[in-house]
Chain A
Amino acid sequence: MRKIPFILFILLAGFFAVLLLRGKDPAVVESAMIGKPAPVFDLPAALKGKAGFSSRNLHGKPALVNVFASWCLACRVEQGALEKIAKAENIPVYGLNYKDTPQKLAAWLQKFGDPYTAIGADRDGRTAIDWGVYGVPETFVVDAEGVIRYKHVGAVTENDYRDIFKPLLAELKK
């Protein structure tokens, strides 16, 4: 009887330890979209002078799709890493500009960097819903057949590139 609290606690602590040690963040809502073809959509250009973004872009070559917005804090810090991936891997990075306005977007890109091949404007957020987005920033890796292979929640860092994106893209390019 007196041992029950201890045993229950140890079980709970063991469970937490397994969670922490295997490094899987249980808080991340896993995307149901992984392994499925990217949704069909056609977004208008978010900025004048830069192409829009549609599902037709996602064929023939692996690509990143980055969901971002100028009002999003974490999005600021990932522009450098995205730029680096685009350059080093020679793949397009498409921007899905979520619930934003052209004026703010233009100023923001100037300030924090513009790694995008093309940016589609998702003013009402419908396309993001089709992608299963649940917060910005999120970054998808889409393979040459247009199938979603990975979803990254939160800002992409250089470490993420080294540990996650680089090996995955190398595999996709084979």
Chain B
Amino acid sequence: MIVTLGHIALMGALVVSLLQPFIRRKGLATGLFALVSLSFAALVYAHASDDFSVLNVVENSHSLKPMIYKISGVWGNHEGSMLLWVWMLALWGFCVERAKKIPMGLKARVLAVQGMIGFGFILFILLTSNPFLRITPAPIEGMDLNPVLQDPGLAIHPPLLYTGYVGFSIAFCFAVAALIEKKVDSAWAAHLRPWVLAAWVALTAGIASGAVWAYYELGWGGFWFWDPVENASLMPWLAGTALLHSVAVLEKRNALGNWTIFLAILAFSFSLLGTFLVRSGILTSVHAFANDPARGIFILVLLTVAIGGAFLFYAWHAPKVKSGAGFGMVSREAALLLNNVFLFTFCATVLMGTLYPVFLSALDLGSVSVGPPYYMAVLLPLLLPFTLLMGAAPSVTWHKGSPAALLEKLSVPFMLTGMALVVLFTLPLRDKALSLLGCGMGGWVVVATLHDLWKKYGHKMPRSYYGMVDGDYMTPEKRWYPVDQKMTSEVALKMDGFSLLYLVMGEQDKDEPEKWVVRAYHHPLVLWILLGALMIAGGGLVSLTDRRRPS
């Protein structure tokens, strides 16, 4: 009964989303949100109550599964995760409708475009990925969820990630609305900025939580593997980061209007591209869902209509958009533009690395996989000037700055970093030259930023700190999942300063079954990565509370 209600609610949502572009009426987005929520709640209910008459529950649940995994298992599969995706979309639309300060005309256009996206995806769910399909006769037991997914990470990582992915749809809709109105100005940017920021914070937190999950659950002993699907989340993040900066320029100085629109379309395009790559079977990856060519074609059509349509619009309308004020070579605008050039390059690099194997294999030139060596070789050299810029940029003035004044401002942090580098390189760690350089560059950013903040000596260096590892008990586990006949590795972690000791159980010894192979890693400073991500997301949150408004 409740499941049928959920199915009907989703069909109702389809109708409402279809109306959205045509009827300007307040409350449609709220209605859409209510219907999709109802639908999503019905699916959660089906999973929580072990309703094995629903195929989706049978395929992904088991009556003995703990409640938290029954609920998070809702989005541990293709159909359910698409419903979560659409629910997020409706939630963002609801928030836009409720936002008080957006002018009515802009708001109506944004919601109209959002309604079209919603319509496409709800239709996709109903036609190719319906989570409410029944199975008769109903089996008495389910097939259980993939053990790797039975982890609190599943409760946190996908919802955060999707909030971010889908959040960029708002920027996309703003961009299309601006193209319709043929008006891009600082007021538009000021309205857009909080939405970009909110989505970006969620995406940052989503990626970081995924990295942490990969670290402790999958037992790979690392945060990031340049897996195609990880890249699929990194690309919208990079484009979104660039957007965040160019929106600031547009808001403050009324410049980079077209570029900002382009990035707003691009960020969401990468979100959609990620969705397509993961679900169409074009790429293989640990993250990929079960493949179905029909779904692939459907998403590709959606993708073409949405992205192709927006870019076509851009090609037509963008030249007429007034490009705004100019700026000097040494100015905050120029620095932010340079930042955008770098981020865009990173993004293109990742895109190339992700699609290159697909190209090669499609042209029958053999199978390759592009891994960390490629990314390290291309990205590391670019990161060096990027961090240099990162430290310097806050000291540059808007509009037109003088190079001499800038050099003078930066002289102190420059000297401090130089001295620190000299000290670092005299340490008996010569073979770790790259790491030391990394520390130095990180130090540069911190020092330059703090110096800019206080305009006085703020001297703080991240110090590597290797403590003694004492003999505490650590308990790595091998967990055995009887339904799936599958073993997973639970690692044991021990924090030690900012370093982690990482133990993971390997295989059982063949001849002496009481013996197990245990791998141990010492990962120095790994907590900085986590803290860094937390600080990035936290910084975004603080910035969100700053109610900057157009003057």
Does the CB pair A6–B314 fall under 8 Å?
yes
Given known A-B contacts A5-B314, A16-B276, A19-B358, A25 and B367 have beta carbons under 8 A apart: no
- Contact stretch, chosen from B89-97, B181-189, B190-198, B304-312: B304-312
Q: Within the assembled complex, what's the spacing in Å between the Cα atoms of A53 and B40?
A: 52
Contacts of A97 in B (CB 8 A): none
Asked if A71 and B307 make an inter-chain contact with CB atoms under 8 angstroms apart, the answer reads: no
Q: Indicate whether A30 reaches chain B with its CB closer than 8 angstroms.
A: yes
> Across the interface, do B291 and A9 meet the contact criterion of CB distance under 8 Å?
no
Inter-chain CA distance A25–B290, complex, in Å, is 13
Cα distance A13–B300 when bound, in Å?
7
Q: Are A13 and B485 within 8 A (Cβ)?
A: no
Q: Are A19 and B282 in contact (CB under 8 A)?
A: yes
Interface string of A14-35 (1 = CB under 8 A from B): 0111111101111101100000
A2 contacts partner chain B, Cβ-Cβ < 8 Å: yes
The residues of A that contact B284 with a CB separation of less than 8 Å are 27
Question: A71 to chain B: which residues have CB within 8 Å?
Answer: 485-487
Interface of B is mostly: helix
- A18 neighbours in B (Cβ, 8 Å): 362
Decide: B319 and A2 in contact? CB cutoff 8 A: yes
For A20, the chain B residues whose CB sits under 8 A away are: 280, 282, 293, 296-297, 300
Interface of chain A residues 58 through 114 with chain B (CB within 8 A): 70-71, 73
Query: Count of chain B residues with Cβ under 8 Å from any Cβ of A?
Result: 36
Separation of A73 and B482 alpha carbons in the complex (Å): 12
Residue of B whose beta carbon sits closest to that of A10: B308
How many residues of A sit at the interface, in one of the four size bands? 20 to 34
Contact of B485 among A25, A27, A70 (CB under 8 A): A70
CA distance A73 to B290 in the complex (A): 14
- A14 closest partner in B (C-beta): B304
| Chain B CB within 8 A of A3 CB | yes
Residues of A with C-beta under 8 A to B258 = 2
Q: Is there contact, CB below 8 Å, between A3 and B315? A: yes
Give the docked Cα–Cα distance between A146 and B276 (Å): 41
Tell me the complex Cα distance, A17–B308, Å: 14
The reply to whether B300 and A26 contact each other, CB–CB distance below 8 Å, is no
CB-nearest residue of chain B relative to A123?
Answer: B510
Complex interface residues of chain A between 117 and 132 (CB less than 8 A to chain B):
123
Point out the residue from B269, B296, B297, B314 that lies within 8 Å of A2, measured CB to CB. B314
Residues of A within 8 A of B314 (CB): 2, 5-6
* Residues of B258-283 contacting chain A, CB below 8 A: 258, 262, 265-266, 269, 276, 280-283
Asked whether, in the complex, the Cβ of A73 is within 8 Å of the Cβ of B486, the reply is yes
Cα distance A3–B312 in the bound complex, in angstroms = 7
Residues of B within 8 A of A19 (CB): 282, 358, 362
Residues of chain B whose beta carbon lies under 8 Å from any beta carbon of chain A = 258, 262, 265-266, 269, 276, 280-284, 291, 293, 296-297, 300, 303-304, 307-308, 311-312, 314-315, 318-319, 358-359, 361-362, 367, 484-487, 510
Given contacts A5-B311, A20-B296, list 11 more A-B pairs with CB under 8 A.
A5-B315, A9-B311, A16-B280, A19-B358, A20-B293, A29-B367, A70-B485, A71-B485, A71-B487, A73-B485, A123-B510
> Could you name 24 residue pairs across A and B whose Cβ atoms are closer than 8 Å?
A2-B314, A5-B265, A5-B314, A5-B315, A6-B311, A9-B308, A9-B311, A10-B308, A13-B307, A13-B308, A15-B359, A16-B282, A17-B297, A19-B282, A20-B297, A25-B291, A26-B282, A26-B361, A27-B284, A30-B361, A70-B485, A71-B486, A71-B487, A73-B486
A-side interface residues toward B, CB under 8 Å? 2-3, 5-6, 9-10, 13, 15-21, 23-27, 29-30, 70-71, 73, 123
